[in-house]
């Protein structure tokens, strides 16, 4: 009987476990996580902060699923080290776990840049359900919030807090919002919409210091402006969790490096999801974690699937703002692109050799799935490229 051990029960780890069970009905599957919940929708943590949902509503798998699938889920258990020669892992409380096949699906953590004062009480970053609990709890006694970082996650966290009645100011180093998802025109539109919702923005602004005695009271920007703050949320990107790469002798750089079968350089050890680097890239998105987990799990159990990459696509989950963006959005306007802009919407598709390589849809995301599918499949759209953004275009024809 094969012993499968998976570290991390997020989208990658859970989809891997499911795939292993499909291939191997009798193998022993142990799923280890340092968090205290079964698999949950990490991407919906902002709804917990705003108070829109209870924790139980975030669960994607209940205890019964693990029982039915005969998966041994060990919550609140951290893996601290391992030995690839002996094929063992060691947990923080000293248990040894042997494996025949191992998957590292350890995800990523929030990157906190070295800002003076970031260790003060009332300064947070959002990654885990525990972070969301801490943020929601502190927010009860806070009125003003400063968010450092105007990326997708920052805006969504800010929206969670705005809905909970807080006054939110977003500080972004770039001169526009969502620098990786929006070009100048799109970002300007989004800013206007969000200002109407009650957000304040400081763009092209750098935080100099987080001030306060024990707990935060203000954020000082370079140039001297002081923003009053009862709490601060830093949202400056993520970094893969690679602590186990060294002890296990795994090649790693931006993430744990894997080939197209999701294998690392050590026999019988795989990596998937945010923790993995594939062709120089850690993806950091849920669909990639799901797909990689499924492929890694299948291969661990003797199957033969290959991974070719996932189209980078993002949607902003803020009610009242329809925004989706994917691929190369051609910020410098150097490629062949088509735009459509009126009072309500801003849309752009970017083309290269007759194929769509990027798109922005703000105000109306109809057709986004078909467009990203055409991007992934490299469909030749030369014949319809001038019509795609026209009213009434049949996206199914792509």
Sites of contact with ligand FAD (CB under 6 A): 7-8, 10-13, 32-35, 42-43, 45-46, 78-79, 105-108, 126-128, 153, 241, 273-275, 284-287, 289, 317
Report the residue number, 43 or 59, with the smaller CB distance to ligand FAD. Answer: 43
Structure tokens at 96: 């040894």
Report the residue number, 24 or 291, with the smaller CB distance to ligand FAD. Answer: 291
Q: How far is the CB of 288 from ligand FAD (least distance, A)?
A: 7
For 355-382, give one letter per residue: b (16+ CB within 10 A) or e.
bbbbbbbbbebebbebbbebbbeeeebe
Report the residue number, 115 or 285, with the smaller CB distance to ligand FAD. Answer: 285
Helix (H) or strand (E) holding 80: strand 79-83
Q: How far is the CB of 336 from ligand FAD (least distance, A)?
A: 28
Report the residue number, 179 or 237, with the smaller CB distance to ligand FAD. Answer: 237
Q: At CB < 8 A and 24+ separation, what contacts does 210-219 make?
A: 210/115, 210/116, 210/117, 210/118, 210/120, 210/123, 211/117, 212/117, 212/120, 212/121, 212/122, 214/120, 214/121, 215/120, 215/121, 215/122, 216/117, 216/120, 216/121, 216/122, 216/123, 219/146, 219/148, 219/171
Q: How far is the CB of 74 from ligand FAD (least distance, A)?
A: 9
The CA distance from 392 to 387, in Å, is: 9
Helix (H) or strand (E) holding 208: strand 207-211
Q: How far is the CB of 276 from ligand FAD (least distance, A)?
A: 8
Report the residue number, 253 or 344, with the smaller CB distance to ligand FAD. Answer: 253
In the block, tokens 């020669």 appear at 85
Report the residue number, 368 or 381, with the smaller CB distance to ligand FAD. Answer: 368
Q: How far is the CB of 67 from ligand FAD (least distance, A)?
A: 20
Q: How far is the CB of 304 from ligand FAD (least distance, A)?
A: 22
Q: How far is the CB of 11 from ligand FAD (least distance, A)?
A: 4
The CA distance from 283 to 7, in Å, is: 18
Report the residue number, 129 or 216, with the smaller CB distance to ligand FAD. Answer: 129
Q: How far is the CB of 253 from ligand FAD (least distance, A)?
A: 17
Q: How far is the CB of 66 from ligand FAD (least distance, A)?
A: 15
Report the residue number, 117 or 284, with the smaller CB distance to ligand FAD. Answer: 284
CA distances from 139 to 161, 165, 226 (A): 8, 9, 20
Report the residue number, 237 or 287, with the smaller CB distance to ligand FAD. Answer: 287
Q: Pick the closest to residue 322 from 338, 342, 349, 345 (CA basis).
A: 345
Q: How far is the CB of 260 from ligand FAD (least distance, A)?
A: 18
The CA distance from 140 to 51, in Å, is: 11
Q: How far is the CB of 216 from ligand FAD (least distance, A)?
A: 21
Report the residue number, 108 or 118, with the smaller CB distance to ligand FAD. Answer: 108
User: Strands of 167-172's sheet, edge to edge?
Assistant: 123-124, 231-234, 144-148, 167-172, 200-203
Report the residue number, 131 or 336, with the smaller CB distance to ligand FAD. Answer: 131
Helix (H) or strand (E) holding 288: helix 286-300
In the block, tokens 């993520």 appear at 238
DSSP state of 122: T
132 touches 47 (CB < 8 A): no
Q: Pick the closest to residue 387 from 357, 349, 334, 360 (CA basis).
A: 349
81 touches 89 (CB < 8 A): yes
């Amino acid at each position: 009987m094969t012993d499968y051990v998976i570290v991390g029960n997020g989208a990658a780890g859970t989809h891997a476990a499911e795939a292993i069970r499909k291939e191997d009905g009798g193998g022993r599957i142990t799923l280890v996580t340092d968090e205290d919940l079964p698999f949950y929708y990490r991407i919906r943590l902002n709804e917990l902060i705003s108070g829109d949902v209870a924790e139980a509503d975030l669960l994607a798998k209940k205890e019964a699923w693990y029982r039915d699938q005969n998966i041994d889920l060990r919550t609140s258990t951290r893996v601290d080290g391992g030995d690839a020669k002996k094929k063992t892992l060691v947990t923080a409380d000293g248990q040894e776990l042997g494996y025949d096949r191992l998957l590292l699906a350890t995800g990523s953590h929030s990157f906190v840049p070295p800002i003076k004062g970031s260790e003060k009480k009332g300064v947070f970053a959002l990654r885990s359900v525990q972070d969301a609990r801490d943020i929601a709890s502190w927010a009860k006694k806070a009125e003003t919030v400063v968010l450092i970082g105007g990326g997708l996650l920052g805006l969504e966290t800010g929206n969670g807090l705005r809905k909970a009645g807080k006054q939110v100011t977003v500080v972004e180093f770039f001169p526009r919002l969502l620098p990786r998802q929006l070009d100048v025109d799109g970002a300007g539109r989004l800013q206007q919409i969000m200002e109407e919702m009650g957000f304040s923005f400081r763009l092209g602004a750098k935080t100099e210091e987080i001030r306060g005695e024990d707990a935060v009271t203000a954020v000082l920007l370079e140039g001297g402006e002081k923003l009053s703050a009862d709490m601060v949320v830093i949202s400056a990107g993520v970094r893969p969790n690679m602590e186990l790469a060294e002890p296990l002798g795994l090649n790693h750089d931006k993430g744990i490096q894997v080939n197209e079968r999701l294998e690392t350089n050590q026999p019988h050890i795989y990596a998937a999801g945010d923790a993995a680097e594939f062709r120089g890239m850690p993806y950091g998105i849920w669909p990639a974690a799901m797909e990689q987990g499924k492929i890694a799990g299948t291969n661990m159990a003797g199957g033969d699937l290959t991974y070719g990459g996932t189209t980078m696509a993002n949607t902003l989950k803020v009610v009242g703002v329809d925004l989706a963006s994917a691929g190369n959005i051609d910020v410098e306007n150097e490629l062949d692109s088509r735009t459509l802009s009126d009072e309500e919407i801003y849309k752009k598709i970017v083309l290269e050799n007759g194929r769509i390589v990027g798109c922005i849809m703000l105000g109306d995301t109809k057709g986004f799935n078909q467009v990203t599918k055409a991007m992934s499949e490299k469909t030749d759209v030369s014949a319809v490229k001038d019509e795609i953004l026209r009213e009434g275009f049949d996206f199914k024809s792509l």
